Amino acid sequence: MIKTSYIKGFTLIELLVAIVIAGLVAGAMYASYRSQQDSYVAQQELASLQQNLRAALFYMEREIRLAGYDPRESGNFGITDIRLRDLNDNLDANGNSSIEFTIDRPPEDGIIGPGDETIYYSIFDNPVATPDGNLDLARRVGPRVGGGGRQLLAQNIIALGLAYAFDNDGNKVPDATPAGNIIWAIDSNNDNSLDLSLDTNDDGNIDTQDNPAGVPLVSPVTVDKIIAVRIWLLARGTTQDPSHTDNTTYVVGHRRITPNNGFRHRLFSSIVKCRNLLL
């Protein structure tokens, strides 16, 4: 008896079909893995972006709150410079906001010391010697000339906006519009006095509904009348994602910024009451 043994196998067609199906399944699984991975990476990026921004803003708030601290009532301390600057720290009416102020730290002698009693914030591109195109938040202690120079406070902060509330009529509360909204103003012509109000539609918010040209104040207000500071910080993520589109126009004080460049951005804003300036 001849034994015929068959090896039960696949035909070539079956094999090819199986390979194609396996390939499709693997492809779908990979695509789903990739998209989960991408969204995970994006979330991580966003989390670190927000953390960076929050830390920078917290630092600024805490220090600006002390502006004008003058326990001896010497009259020597306050906000001293609010002009707009370019990245190289030169005056530039199209630049970012900057702020310089003084604090009488212990031993509280009523005299502005050469060290950390003068504080300054602005935007620059660190490292200054070899700029990398990613803008950063700078802080300086000491006077402009002979001080410590600008140091890196936070990376990838691409814009700083500041606006100021003031008490020009001396009634101890911020000057407001007839509608009761606080007037937030900037120094638009770099003479170091406030001249332009930002909430042009007088609804209490500063946003894209307002005319970026602002509304001139009735008369300029000197920096010693400032009692509160509104801060905007716009931060950028570290990785460019070509598939990420963001057409948002960010309102950073007097500026409108529409990056739409594949980077993720976050804008934080807060208001600091300088309790030492309300004497």
Q: Is 189 in the site for Ca ion (CB under 5 A)?
A: yes
| Count, residues near Ca ion per rule CB under 5 A | 19
Which residue's CB is nearer to Ca ion, number 126 or number 272?
A: 126
Nearer to Ca ion, 185 or 228 (CB): 185
Determine, following the binding rule CB under 5 A, whether residue 109 of this chain makes contact with Ca ion: yes
Pick the stretch among 4-12, 20-28, 122-130, 211-219 that binds Ca ion (CB under 5 A): 122-130
CB–CB of 112/76 below 8 Å? yes
> How far are the Cα atoms of 16, 185, 241, 255 from residue 21, in angstroms, in the given order?
9, 66, 32, 55
Residues 6+ apart with CB under 8 A from 224: 78, 79
Nearer to Ca ion, 57 or 153 (CB): 153
Binding residue for Ca ion, selected from 153, 184, 210, 272, defined by CB under 5 A: 210
By the rule CB under 5 A, 100 interacts with Ca ion: no
Pick between residue 27 and residue 75 the one whose CB is nearest to Ca ion: 75
Query: Considering the complex, what minimum distance in angstroms separates the CB of residue 236 from Ca ion?
Result: 10
Q: How far, in Å, CA of 174 to CA of 168, rounded?
A: 8
Q: Which of 203, 211, 213, 271 binds Ca ion (CB under 5 A)?
A: 203
Which residue of the chain is nearest Ca ion when measured via CB?
195
Q: Could you tell me if 198 and 214 are in contact, meaning their C-beta atoms sit under 8 angstroms apart?
A: yes
Binding site for Ca ion (CB under 5 A): 104, 109, 111, 113, 125-126, 132, 134, 136, 187, 189, 191, 193, 195, 199, 201, 203, 205, 210
